[in-house]
Amino acid sequence: MSGPGNRLFGRRVISGWLACLLALVLISAAGCSLEKMALKKAAGMLTAPSSGNVFTGDDDPELIAGALPFAIKFYESLLASLPEHEGLRLRTGSLYIMYASAFVQTPADMTPASEVESRQAQLLRAKKLYLRGRDILLAALEKKNPRLREELKARQFKKALSPFGPKDIDFLYWAAAGWVAAYSIDPFDMSIGLTLPEAAALMNRVLELNPNYASGAVHNFYILYYGSLPEALGGDENKAREHFRQAEKLCGDSDTSYLLSLATTVAVKNQNRQEFISLLKKVLEFDPDRAPQTRLVNTLNKRKAAWLLEHVDDFFLPPEEVPKDSEQVERKK
């Protein structure tokens, strides 16, 4: 049966199916749009500057240590749905780096020498987390300059970084911090060591854009950078001390990290036991409640300072002892 009525019926059926399909597409599109709007609103709330204080202002490191892994993966899952959301990318990348520093590397550094395998496993994990955070952040910078890594590798630093301005400063800072931190864990990994000038170039751009960035955080970075590296790789005690003085002016009443940084780099390298102890005692004397916004980092710094003072002999050679017989001979002379 193929008369005009059947053909009309067929067309109506097809038209009905098309209408239903179009309706489903529109409903689905509206759903996606609404879902996207909801995700963007949630992302905006979760990445607002005040939201970070929930972590940094806490005085219970164990609570934050347990909460951060979930928070990081939650941010990362949102980022997978909203890859263009800069706030999510910044928060995800920087949290990886902060978590690696505070809750993976620091406990590893304080692991007893007898637990070598456990310590090495934790440090390797911290290194991977640092690099993961760095790469998440570099992905955002590469959107503004797709040839960023290529130009950094070619030491075309000015060309590579000229596109970045004040809006990019957080990405530059955290990417550089994660980069150098990964190297600090494994100084024999020359695949990272040879790229240190690239990381330094990112931080130099931060310094150019805002010398007072994050109340001295950029200067604390340079204390660690110049204080820990050998001279052949750019280490410079004078520069480390100059940045120490700058950090003291900017954050002396709110963040003790700069004290810890100089103690564990320059003081140890110079085998200056007295300076080491003096700096760590200042960390212990600081009341974290004086600066609520940095309560967590100062609480962690106090713990590390106390541990370092308990293990001070592990970092310094014993003082030279003059034999008693020799001393008596010298007195007779």
Question: 143 in the Ramachandran plot: left (φ > 0), alpha (ψ -120 to 50) or beta?
Answer: alpha
In a domain, 269, yes or no: yes
pLDDT of residue 76: 93
Prediction pTM value: 0.82
User: Which residues 6+ apart lie within 8 Å of 131 measured at CB?
Assistant: 178, 179, 182
- pLDDT at position 46, please? 65
Residue 271, phi then psi, degrees to nearest 5: 55, 40
- 42: Cβ contacts below 8 Å, ≥ 6 apart: 78
- Range with the lowest mean pLDDT among 1-15, 111-125, 134-148, 154-168? 1-15
Task: Compute the mean pLDDT over every residue in the chain, rounded to the nearest whole number.
Answer: 86
- Report how far residue 247's alpha carbon sits from residue 86's, in angstroms, rounded to the nearest whole number: 28
Q: Which of 194, 210, 226 is the last residue of a domain?
A: 210
Residues 262 and 232 in one domain: yes
- On whether both 93 and 191 belong to a single domain, the answer is yes
Domain final residue pick, 189, 210, 231: 210
Q: Answer yes or no: do 73 and 160 share one domain.
A: yes
Q: Which domain holds residue 286?
A: 213-318
Confidence at residue 51, expressed as pLDDT on a 0 to 100 scale: 59
Picking from 179, 195, 210, the residue at the C-terminal end of a domain is: 210
Q: Are residues 136 and 99 part of one domain?
A: yes
Alpha-carbon distance 225 to 231, whole Å?
Answer: 11
State pLDDT tens for residues 166-201. Answer: 999 999 999 999 999 999 999 889 999 999 999 999
User: Is residue 191 located within the same domain as residue 260?
Assistant: no
Domain total of the chain: 2
In a domain, 23, yes or no: no
pLDDT in tens, 245-269: 999 999 999 999 999 999 999 999 9
